A = this chain, B = another copy of it.
């Protein structure tokens, strides 16, 4: 397991990630939220402040929260509304970083496949960029959770999902976007790039033969 980052390093790097993801259309408006585990015992996350513009993210908008998603003493500002989901993922996977993006293709496909509670991405070489996947001959399940503003309930669903499917690398929330994670922040960033690429590829492939299913 990689070493955890300091708050300062996490904040500096998340600012870069935020600007890059905004530029690429994955965190427009005030959408998207990002966290890094900065201590494991007790669990402590550095997470983006609620409702901030990612194209102008500042290090002081990265806040420390505890293992219940509560801001630590001295924190001013409100952590992301979705902090509980980050905590649930950090616990279920011992992951070092959790990233939530909100692209056009994740939004479109999370709705298109919603009736099936998820879909498979299969036999793409790009899957090998996901941690632990060694061959394109792999069948990756991408579950879809119905959207909700009840974060406790969403966090519970996420915990169940991750227990049922120990091999997941990410999931979608319907009409809301993608969650993925990694052993460290760089791996989580790579997972975003790879899953966003696959979502666009699968979406465009589907559009070329709407009558078939992929």
Question: Which positions in A face B, CB cutoff 8 Å?
Answer: 25, 28-31, 53, 102, 104-105, 107-108, 111-112, 123-126, 129, 134-137, 147, 149, 173, 175-177, 186, 190, 193-194, 197, 200-201, 203-210
Contacts and interface: CB of A to CB of B under 8 A. Distances in A.
A136 B28 CA distance: 16
Q: How many copies does the complex hold?
A: 4
A190 B111 CA distance: 24
A24 B43 CA distance: 38
A204 B136 contact: no
A13 to B, nearest CB: 13
Contacts of A194: 28-29
Which 4 residue pairs spanning A and B have beta carbons closest together?
A: A29-B129, A125-B176, A29-B194, A28-B193
B123 A102 contact: no
Nearest to A81: B128
Given A112-B209, A209-B112, A210-B209, A126 B29 contact: yes
Contact of A107 (B104, B124, B177, B190): B124
